[in-house]
Amino acid sequence: MEQSNSSLVLDERLIVKVYRRLGAGVNPELEMLQFLGAHGFANVPELGGWWGYTGSPTSATLGTVQRFVAGADDGWSLALAELRERPGAFLDRLERLGEVVGGMHATLARDSEDPAFAPEEAGPEALSLLAATIDDEIDQAFTHLPDVESIAPIAGCGDAVRDLARSLAEIGSTGRLIRGHGDLHLGQMLWADGDWMIVDFEGEPARALHERRRKRSPLRDVAGMLRSFAYAARAVDLDDELFEERAREVFLGAYLDVAQGAGILPGSVETTNRLLQIFELEKAVYELRYELAHRPDWVRIPVAGIERLLERGAG
């Protein structure tokens, strides 16, 4: 996929990001960095400045300047390095990762006066929109699956995936909708000086700017991170389901300890788990389409995720 920005490090102190894909209005990354900085969230590199264009035919954010985190390891590279030799070392970092992501969501839900960030109650239309989105993804992914061995475990399962999504969506309260990262995974994390930093708040670049600014359940970000654990484990051929289960348990436990106090999650553990499954299913079906189009050798990873979700079902 074409890069959505170009970055340049200046004197090991600042990183300048120039956006390639422009949209009318404030870029969500600038908006998020301003908000998180103003509300004292310390786990993002500080915003140093930005520039934009205002005039005809449109106004847009052109770029940002942030503090450069020298000596940092990105979370994806760190995971691959440690999972090959020392899986326990990576697991040890996941409790703090859960706390940081939970802290980000709690901060994003803190200001009820800012209309761009004030949490909103999720009505029935939120689940309807989610179900429609997944239906569309399923149609596009399963209509013309190639007849190859890597796809065999889910061949002909389009209706079963759709039925699972619909049954999972039969829930009551879904918690509150807030602004989120929008494209959270290990590659959007930096490990530096014994702590995690979150970067790249543009959201999914292929989506229109107004979609990237939409308030959603914070569990969508969480699902993205859980899927990233699965990718990392399988990228190094770590054939250990117990590791992935333990990674999920450690990360989620720490995340929920922080986020539950912010009043943004569903009221029951069962509803939280079902909603999280919906977002994981959405993400895995999207991954299936992406890998078929761009990285066929990686198709086995979303296939395994979809197969696992089908086996687990809606119970």
Residue 36 reports pLDDT greater than 80: yes
Q: What is the pLDDT of residues 99-130, one digit of tens each?
A: 999 999 999 999 999 999 999 987 767 777 77
Sequence length of the chain is 315
Quote the percentage of the chain above a pLDDT of 70: 97
- At residue 140, the pLDDT reads 85
Average pLDDT of the chain, as a whole number: 91
Q: Which residue has the tokens 């399988």?
A: 234
pLDDT band for 168, please (50, 70, 90 cuts).
confident
Residues in contact with 276: Cβ distance below 8 Å, sequence separation at least 6, in sequence order: 219, 222, 223, 226
Query: Is 180 in contact with 293 (CB distance < 8 Å)?
Result: no
* Averaged pLDDT, 160-184: 87
DSSP 78-106: HHHHHHHH-HHHHHHHHHHHHHHHHHHHH
* Averaged pLDDT, 18-36: 90
> Containing H/E element for 287?
helix 269-294
First to last CA, the chain: 36
Query: Is 61 in contact with 209 (CB distance < 8 Å)?
Result: no
Query: Is 238 in contact with 122 (CB distance < 8 Å)?
Result: no
Amino acid found at 66? Q
- What is the pTM (predicted TM-score) of this model? 0.93
| CA–CA dist 104, 277 (Å, integer) | 21
| CA–CA dist 115, 125 (Å, integer) | 19
DSSP 133-157: HHHHHHHHHHTT----GGGGGGTT-
Peptide bond into 87 cis (omega under 30): no
Q: Which of 256, 306, 272, 26 is nearest to 155 (CA)?
A: 306
- Which one-letter DSSP state was computed for residue 25? B
- Domain extent listing, the chain: 72-312
Query: Is 60 in contact with 53 (CB distance < 8 Å)?
Result: yes
- At residue 172, the pLDDT reads 67
Residue 17 reports pLDDT greater than 90: yes
Residue 155 reports pLDDT greater than 80: yes
Lowest mean pLDDT: which of 84-88, 131-135, 213-217, 297-301?
131-135
| CA–CA dist 252, 94 (Å, integer) | 9
Q: Is 110 helix (H, G, I), strand (E, B) or coil?
A: coil
72-312 placed in CATH 3.30.920.30 = no
Residue 69 reports pLDDT greater than 80: yes
Q: Which of 120, 89, 99 is nearest to 198 (CA)?
A: 99
Query: Is 36 in contact with 108 (CB distance < 8 Å)?
Result: yes
By CB atoms closer than 10 A (0-12, 13-18, 19+), residue 60 is middle
* Sign of the alpha-carbon torsion through 238, 240, 243, 244: positive
Beta partners for residue 65, in sequence order:
16, 49
Q: What is the pLDDT of residues 176-228, one digit of tens each?
A: 999 999 999 999 999 999 999 999 999 887 778 888 899 999 999 999 999 99
Query: Is 179 in contact with 127 (CB distance < 8 Å)?
Result: no
